[in-house]
Amino acid sequence: MTLEERSSPILKAFEKAVAWARMNSVWAVHYNSGSCNGCDIELLTTITPRYDVERIGIKLAGSPRHADVLVCTGPVTGQGKDALLRTYEQMPAPKFVVAIGTCALSGGVFEGSYNTYDGIDGLVPVDVYIPGCPPRPEAIINGFAQLLEKVENYA
Amino acid sequence: MPEDAKNTEETTEELVEETVALIPQVEAAREVLEPLSTSTTASGTKLLYVAVSLDQLNEATEAIVGSGLGYLISITPVDLGVEENQFEVLYHFGVGPGVVTIRITIPRDEPVIPSVCEQVPSATYYERELMEMFGIDVTDTPNRTRLYLPDQWPQGIYPMRKDYVPRSERQLPESKKDKV
Amino acid sequence: MAEISSDNGRKFTIPIGPQHPALKEPGHFEFVVDGEVIQEASVKLGYAHRGIEKIVEDRNYTQAMYILERVCGICSHVHASALAMGAEQLAGVEAPPRARAIRTLVYELERIHSHLLWLGVAAHEAGFEALFMYSWRDRETIMDILEEISGSRVHYSVNAIGGVRIDISAESAQNILKAVDFLEERSKHYLNVVSSDRVFLQRSRGIGVMSPEEGNRWGVVGPVARASGIKRDVRVDAPYAAYDIFPVTMITASEGDLEARFTVRVRELLESTRLVREVVKNLPEGELTTKVKRKIPPAETVVRIEAPRGELMYYMKSNGTDQPERIHGRTPTIPNMASVLHLTIGHQLADAPMILAGIDPCFSCNDRAVVLKSQSHSDLWSWDQLRQYGIDRYHGRT
Ligand code: SF4
């Protein structure tokens, strides 16, 4: 494809439409890389009636192949590392990563253990960091809102 | 400090043995284990530690589980350190309101124990943990694969031993290196 | 057409996990199936192995308590209080009565939260989304209470070595009573649902039956054991904290199938609401902590606690310093997991998730603010702002 073609108005309009669609239905896949569950139950809480992230178009998908966003919790254990990388690789581009919880950010209280990798950002690129041990559901949704902004501006 | 501590420990032990009677279920277990044990210590009325020699282990387990007195809660290995050169393996049995612990001691350089899976099938999980974390060899255990450690973990390195240096065996990603 | 028959000796291995669409925790299962029927089952754990037992060996007791709290985000209080009680036993002191009652109160609140959570997850496995949503909505009531009394929704950090860190004010007591009244109503409703909904019963009645003999052989604990008629509950057998003052009625069933596991847990919800009410109304007066020396003389002890999933045991050994020599835990999922894998054999593959969820497996067994660089949002959202955001977004889309 030449440069001219790529900047053709039709293609641009098409890309805009795709971005709009993507931003309105973000599907996320959840991977637990060895967290204590605290973050996972708070993440699940966000899809239940009180918080309900589906109102901003976010839905948990079952398979990484259907997902736009990888939501990852936990400090990444030795055994969980390969599965994390595999999950990430299986996702279709463009892909985004959200790290939830202090563990996923830096290893948290488990930093320095023999079986953890001190957070996921050494292994996969992270777009949004949500700190907290565990972050409140409000905080998680706020993090998702930031992500949506990023998705919207993604070209 | 260590001198002091030793003294207090001894005195409390004596006190316990003289004054407090064990609760009936634990007392019953003590009687059953009496002929097999090399020494017993009680702590309070509910906790009993019974030292047993290695070849009596299966018999002692059978004595508690087979008679329906109690059930195996867990197996705890303890590394007594390089100087002592010994491992302790503790078998905790829930006996009514109390806990009876069978204690065996094995040399650190030749850690081999028999399996108790014959008597308690669910012990396989604890024995697998023992093997991978401490490198204690459990003969005749039905399953020898790893339970907790990652597949790529090197053979012959046992993280729960006291002389293990954390992270000596594994590369961290570049960006995290400075933290170690 | 190629003939597919179940007796041609071809078996398939179906791996499930560790990235699991339904369970929130990582575990890797392998089922060997012949047609639809499971022949063999095995599990690989360790996806959540963080080496906690090693970490606590070079922390002091207080730090170790906070780390053990993070063993599990669902039953954080039982782990932290196990360490606190163990340290107290090693040091030869006892927490004051009010502290023990508050610990008991939080145990029961936690049990309510955990059982409701489980009810939702298990219903989700059965494809019963409505029950999932309802039970999690009701669970928010208890989360609000836990947040009100401790300041956090998940890691309450209620314990201190020698007592507790929080007190129950008269106002919170009122709120707790109100919340448990509501939950009692709801639990009655759930009991009705799990024991009478026909579709649901088809997934649970007579599935995964475990006889008491089998249960004893595998050493199962907690609601799974009680659903098989095994009378085993640490709160009754060996009362700790304040369970001697506030006795528990043990709840058992004899069927040993999935339905029994559902009803036992839901009836435990009712029992817990009763206990909470009793503790709140009869909270003893007095101190919240006793003083414990920082250095703990050499000794060893065993602590047993009835976690929401069953018996939790910690072995602790001190060495005269302010750091523990060895801490070893045994969580209830291990014996239950061993037994349940055997139960799946001979069942349809489709039943496996339900049976697994039936034991409530827990493989792993507070910071509030989000500060991210952004021009358009404030740093922390309240629930109302959040709601507004959702509405704006909805209207804003064209
Ligand atoms: S950040 Fe805290 S709550 Fe989240 S997984 Fe880690 S320890 Fe658990």
| pLDDT for the residue numbered C396 | 65
| pLDDT for the residue numbered C371 | 34
Please give the distance, rounded to the nearest whole angstrom, from the Cα atom of residue B73 to the centre of ligand 1.
Answer: 28
Q: How confident is the model at residue A1 (pLDDT cuts 50, 70, 90)?
A: low
Fill in the amino acid letter for B160: M
Task: Using an 8 Å CB-CB cutoff, list chain B residues near C313.
Answer: 73-74, 92, 99
Residue A40 within any structural domain of the chain: yes
Tell me the pLDDT tens digit for each residue of A85-109.
888 888 887 889 999 988 888 888 8
| pLDDT for the residue numbered C181 | 92
Lowest mean pLDDT among A73-87, C134-148, C163-177, C338-352: C338-352
Residue A1 within any structural domain of the chain: no
Task: Using an 8 Å CB-CB cutoff, list chain B residues near C322.
Answer: none
Check CB contact under 8 Å for C219 and B96.
no
| pLDDT for the residue numbered A112 | 75
Please give the distance, rounded to the nearest whole angstrom, from the Cα atom of residue A37 to the centre of ligand 1.
Answer: 7
Residue C229 within any structural domain of the chain: yes
Fill in the amino acid letter for A77: T
Nearest atom within ligand 1 for CA of residue A101: 1
Which residue range forms the structural domain that includes residue C382? 373-398
Task: Using an 8 Å CB-CB cutoff, list chain A residues near B159.
Answer: 114-115
Q: How confident is the model at residue C4 (pLDDT cuts 50, 70, 90)?
A: very low
Task: Assess whether C145 and C216 both reside in one domain.
Answer: yes
CB C77 within 8 A of CB C149: no
Task: Using an 8 Å CB-CB cutoff, list chain C residues near B71.
Answer: 216, 219
Which residue of chain A comes nearest to C66, CA vs CA? A109
- Determine phi and psi for A38, rounding to 5 degrees: -55, -50
Task: Assess whether C296 and C387 both reside in one domain.
Answer: no
Q: Hey, of C302, C326, C337, C363, which one would you mutate to test binding to chain B, going by the most B CBs within 10 A of its CB?
A: C302
Task: Assess whether C199 and C124 both reside in one domain.
Answer: yes
Residue C92 within any structural domain of the chain: yes
Q: Which residue has the higher pLDDT, C363 or C278?
A: C278
Q: Which residue has the higher pLDDT, C38 or C273?
A: C273
Among residues C279, C306, C332, the one where a domain terminates is C332
Tell me the pLDDT tens digit for each residue of C206-241.
888 888 888 887 788 888 889 998 888 889 888 888
Tell me the pLDDT tens digit for each residue of B113-134.
888 888 888 788 888 888 888 8
Average pLDDT per consecutive 10 residues, chain B (180 residues; last block may be shorter) = 45 48 84 84 85 88 84 87 86 88 89 87 83 85 78 79 67 50
Q: How confident is the model at residue C268 (pLDDT cuts 50, 70, 90)?
A: very high
Write the CA distances from C136 to C152, C186, C196, C261, C350, integer angstroms. 18, 12, 21, 19, 24
Residue A49 within any structural domain of the chain: yes
Task: Assess whether C319 and C388 both reside in one domain.
Answer: no
Residue C347 within any structural domain of the chain: no
Check CB contact under 8 Å for A115 and B151.
no
Residue C381 within any structural domain of the chain: yes
| pLDDT for the residue numbered B96 | 82
Task: Assess whether C294 and C397 both reside in one domain.
Answer: no
Task: Assess whether C320 and C378 both reside in one domain.
Answer: no
| pLDDT for the residue numbered A63 | 81
Which residue of chain A comes nearest to C383, CA vs CA? A138
Which domains are present in chain B? 21-166 (3.30.460.80)
Please give the distance, rounded to the nearest whole angstrom, from the Cα atom of residue A36 to the centre of ligand 1.
Answer: 6
What number is the average pLDDT over the span A41-60? 85
Whether pLDDT at A5 is above 90: no
Task: Assess whether C227 and C312 both reside in one domain.
Answer: yes
CB-based contact, C144 to chain A, within 8 Å:
no
Mean pLDDT of chain C, nearest integer = 81
Which residue range forms the structural domain that includes residue A98? 16-152
Ligand 1 pocket check for A77: Cβ under 6 Å: no
Distance CA C142, CA C135 (A): 11
| pLDDT for the residue numbered B6 | 45
Nearest CA to ligand 1 atom 8: A36
DSSP code of residue A113:
-
CB-based contact, B176 to chain A, within 8 Å:
yes
Q: Hey, of C54, C124, C154, which one would you mutate to test binding to chain A, going by the most A CBs within 10 A of its CB?
A: C154
Pocket test for ligand 1, best of A33, A39, A116 (most atoms within 8 A of CB): A39
Ligand 1 pocket check for A107: Cβ under 6 Å: no
Give the minimum alpha-carbon distance from C143 to chain B in angstroms, rounded to a whole number.
32
Task: Assess whether C312 and C396 both reside in one domain.
Answer: no
Task: Assess whether C257 and C393 both reside in one domain.
Answer: no
CB-based contact, B172 to chain A, within 8 Å:
yes
| pLDDT for the residue numbered A107 | 81
Residue A138 within any structural domain of the chain: yes
pLDDT over 90 percentage in chain C:
19
pLDDT over 70 percentage in chain C:
85
Write the CA distances from C36 to C39, C339, C344, integer angstroms. 9, 21, 12
Distance CA C166, CA C173 (A): 13
Lowest mean pLDDT among C154-158, C328-332, C370-374: C370-374
What number is the average pLDDT over the span A119-141? 88
Tokens 């969980």, located at residue: A80
| pLDDT for the residue numbered A2 | 58
Task: Assess whether C156 and C245 both reside in one domain.
Answer: yes
Distance CA B134, CA B147 (A): 13
The total domain count for chain A is 1
Mean pLDDT of chain A, nearest integer = 83
Q: Which residue has the higher pLDDT, C386 or B164?
A: B164
The ipTM, to two decimals, is: 0.85
Give the minimum alpha-carbon distance from C189 to chain A in angstroms, rounded to a whole number.
18
Ligand 1 pocket check for A135: Cβ under 6 Å: no
- B/e letters for A1-36, b = 16+ CB within 10 Å, e = fewer, are eeeeeeeeeeeeeeeeeebeebbeebbbbbbbbbbb
Nearest CA to ligand 1 atom 5: A35
CATH number of domain containing A143: 3.40.50.12280
The total domain count for chain C is 2
Model's pTM, two decimal places? 0.86
pLDDT over 90 percentage in chain A:
5
Fill in the amino acid letter for A36: C
Residue A3 within any structural domain of the chain: no
Residue C111 within any structural domain of the chain: yes
Give the minimum alpha-carbon distance from A130 to chain C in angstroms, rounded to a whole number.
6
| pLDDT for the residue numbered C183 | 92
Q: Which residue from C49, C301, C328 is facing B149, i.e. has the nearest CB?
A: C49
Among residues C274, C300, C332, the one where a domain terminates is C332
Q: How confident is the model at residue C101 (pLDDT cuts 50, 70, 90)?
A: very high
Residue A79 within any structural domain of the chain: yes
Task: Assess whether C235 and C384 both reside in one domain.
Answer: no
Residue C40 within any structural domain of the chain: no
Tell me the pLDDT tens digit for each residue of A111-126.
777 778 888 888 889 9
Residue C94 within any structural domain of the chain: yes
